[in-house]
A and B are shown apart, each in its own frame.
Chain A
C-alpha cells in the first residue's frame, strides 16, 4: 500500500511535468475586455429596466393613494355606512323618545343592507 502511494505521488509529479505551460494567445486580453464590455452592457440594460419598473410602480402607488383620499360623491353618510345594529337601535329610540317621529314607528336611520331583511 505504501509502495502504491509512493508511486501515485510520483505519477502526480510526472503529470504536472507532462502538462505543458500554455502561452496566452494574442487575443487573450482583448477577449477578456470584450467579455467585460458585453457583461457591462447587459447589466446596463437590466439596470434601465429595473429603474423603469421602480418608477412605474411608484407612480401607480401615488395614483392609488390619491384615489383613496378623494371622497366618493355617491357615498352614504358615515353614520349609516358604518353604524352597528346597536347604534341604529339607539338612534331609533332617541327619535321616538323626542317625538320627532310621531307619524311613523320605523326609524329614519337607514339600516345596513343585512338588517333590512
Chain B
C-alpha cells in the first residue's frame, strides 16, 4: 500500500484533503498502468482523471481499506475498457492530440535527434500493440495486467472477482492468440 489505511478511511469519510493525498500517492502508478493498458499516451491523463472521479464516488462502497488497491485496479481496468470501447480505435498517434511536451519530443524525433535506444523502445511499443490487435479489448487488458504489470493470479482474482481457474483459462487462450501472432510476425520477418 502506498498510503496508510487510516488515510483511506478518512477519504472514505469525505475528507477532501485525505482524498487529495490518496490521489497524489497513486496517480503516477495509475498513469503508468493506463499508458500500458490503452497504448495512447495522449489520452492517459484523461482516463486517469476518470478513474479518480469514479474512486471519489465509489469510495463509500469500499468495505475495508485493505482491499483498496484491487478496488483501484478494478476502476482503472473498467475506465480503460470504457475508453477502448468508446474510441474503437487502435493505438495511433496524432499531432493534434499531443501535449506541448510530446510535440517537442516528436519534433526532436523528426529532426533525427532521438537516440537509438528511444527508437528501439518505440519499435517495441508499436510491435506489442500490433500483437494485441489479435485479442479482444477485455483480453488485452487482462493479459497486460498479468504479463506486463506483473500481477499474480491471486491479485487478478481479487481485482476481477473471478475464479482463479477461469482466469487461467482466459489468460492461456489470450496468450496463445498473441503467441500465434508473434510467430506469424517472426515468420514474416517483421521482428
Interface residues, chain A, with chain B CB atoms under 8 Å away: 4-5, 7-9, 11-12, 14-25, 28-29, 31-32, 35-36, 39
Contacts and interface: CB of A to CB of B under 8 A. Distances in A.
Given A11-B124, A24-B28, A39-B57, A5 B20 contact: no
Interface of B is mostly: helix
A28 B124 contact: no
Contacts of B138: none
A24 B53 contact: no
B121 A22 contact: no
B50 A4 contact: no
B121 A17 contact: yes
A98 to B, nearest CB: 78
Nearest to A15: B128
Contact of A25 (B53, B99, B125, B149): B99
A68 B48 CA distance: 57
Contacts of A11: 124, 127-128, 182
A5 B24 CA distance: 38
A5 B179 contact: yes
A28 B45 contact: yes
- Taking residues whose C-beta sits less than 8 angstroms from the other chain, chain B's interface range is 35 or more
Interface stretch (B5-13, B30-38, B64-72, B152-160): B30-38
Contacts of A23: 28, 31
Contact of A31 (B49, B120, B122, B175): B49
* Closest 7 A/B residue pairs (Cβ): A18-B121, A18-B124, A15-B128, A12-B147, A22-B31, A35-B53, A19-B36
Nearest to B132: A15
Contact of A16 (B36, B41, B57, B178): B36
A54 B176 CA distance: 55
B170 interface: no
A11 B144 CA distance: 12
Given A29-B20, A35-B53, A39-B57, A8 B182 contact: yes
B23 A16 contact: no
B44 interface: yes
A22 B24 contact: no
Nearest to A19: B36
Contacts of B31: 21-24
Given A12-B147, A32-B53, A19 B125 contact: yes
Contacts of A8: 175, 178-179, 182
A4 B182 contact: yes
A25 B179 CA distance: 36
B183 A4 contact: yes
22 contacts: A4-B183, A5-B179, A12-B128, A15-B36, A15-B148, A16-B36, A16-B150, A18-B121, A18-B125, A19-B32, A19-B148, A20-B41, A21-B28, A22-B28, A22-B32, A22-B44, A24-B28, A24-B31, A24-B48, A28-B45, A28-B48, A32-B56
